[in-house]
Amino acid sequence: MLLFNFISFYFIILLSYTTMSVNKVAVVTGANKGLGFCIVKKLCEKYSGKVYLTSRDEQRGGKACDELNKLGLNPFFHQLDVSDKKSVNNFVKHIREENEEVEILINNAGILFLKDAPEPKSFQAEQTIFVNFTALVDFTEAILPFMKNGGRIVNISSSSGHLCRVPSGDIRSKFQSEMLTLEELKTLVSSYVEDVKQDEEINKGWGDSPYVVSKVAVNAYTFMLQRRLAPKGITVNCVHPGYVMSDMTRGGGSITPDDAANVPVRLALTPWGAGLYVWHNGTVVPWDGPDPRGYIDGRKV
């Protein structure tokens, strides 16, 4: 009888462990093509849990999953537009109802207006900040209650996210302050959009690129979030994947999406630190140091 009880107890523990392991998931935003697609592909190959390929467009997302199925991989599709609250709520509801824990979150969704974009600069600033920063933050905050202790968050940043890209020392110090709260960060970024509307962004020291401000803000949020989540063992890092060949750059670039996915996936699976800003070659760079485009990429800056 004693032996039977022991075996029953062991079976229950084993069953619980198996159930828990099945419930861990990885989530990649903006993943129906390009870098996001390649990140999903590599996670499917290397990660033992369920991998969500998410995208705004259901048809394109489903087609991307079909492509990976042909390679013998098994991602799970779910519609997700991080800039749409209803879509975010639906995804979070799905995670809750499936009793899943997010072990890996890779925030990849983003937009870029090229220099010849016809849209007014106020519209470009508003949309770039909204999609690249505000939506990323809001989605991450919504999913945090379902993050697994010891999980990993990787924010896809850019060389544009380096602090040196903001001309004003005063603005740089505000972004860099460890006392900065999330609400203060949001207010700071909103002030940039207002300055653009008033045609004052250059005079105020923001520079001329909404993309730069959006990615600097993403990095600031990354380091802030790492400080918040450290007690739970969750690592939060940001990565510049390189100048990736993509639709967003009209095919321009110096690195393929497949190669660019390597470092983000390594950070998601086996991070070599927390609160890091990592370059496309795996080098950890100081956010407030010299421009890595010069001493790593060999560019004149």
Question: Residues 66, 174: one domain?
Answer: no
Residues 101, 53 share a domain: no
d(CA 258, CA 280): 12
- Residue with structure tokens 């209650």? 145
291/232 same-domain check: yes
Residue type at position 259: D
Contact between residue 185 and residue 220 where contact means Cβ atoms under 8 Å apart: yes
Indicate whether 290 and 269 sit together in one domain: yes
The average confidence (pLDDT) of the chain is: 92
- Are 73 and 214 contained in the same domain? no
Task: Decide if pLDDT at 11 tops 80.
Answer: no
Same domain, 56 and 162: no
CATH number at residue 156: 3.40.50.720
- 253 within a domain of the structure (yes/no): yes
Q: Report how far apart, in Å, the C-alpha atoms of 196 and of each of 213, 261, 264 are.
A: 12, 33, 32
pLDDT digits (tens, 9 = 90+) for 13-64: 344 444 444 489 999 999 999 999 999 999 999 999 999 999 999 999 999 9
> How much is the pLDDT for 13?
39
Active site residues: 211
Sort 119 into a burial class: Cβ within 10 Å, 0-12 / 13-18 / 19+: exposed
Q: Does residue 247 have a pLDDT over 50?
A: yes
Residue 34, amino acid: G
Domain that residue 206 falls in: 81-295
Q: Does residue 21 lie in a domain region?
A: no
Residues 112 and 211 in one domain: yes
Question: Looking at residue 114, what is its pLDDT?
Answer: 87
Q: For the chain, what is the domain count?
A: 2
Same domain, 215 and 85: yes
Residues 147 and 245 occupy one common structural domain = yes
DSSP-assigned beta bridge partners for residue 235: 152
Residue 26 within any structural domain of the chain: no
User: Does residue 202 sit within a domain?
Assistant: yes
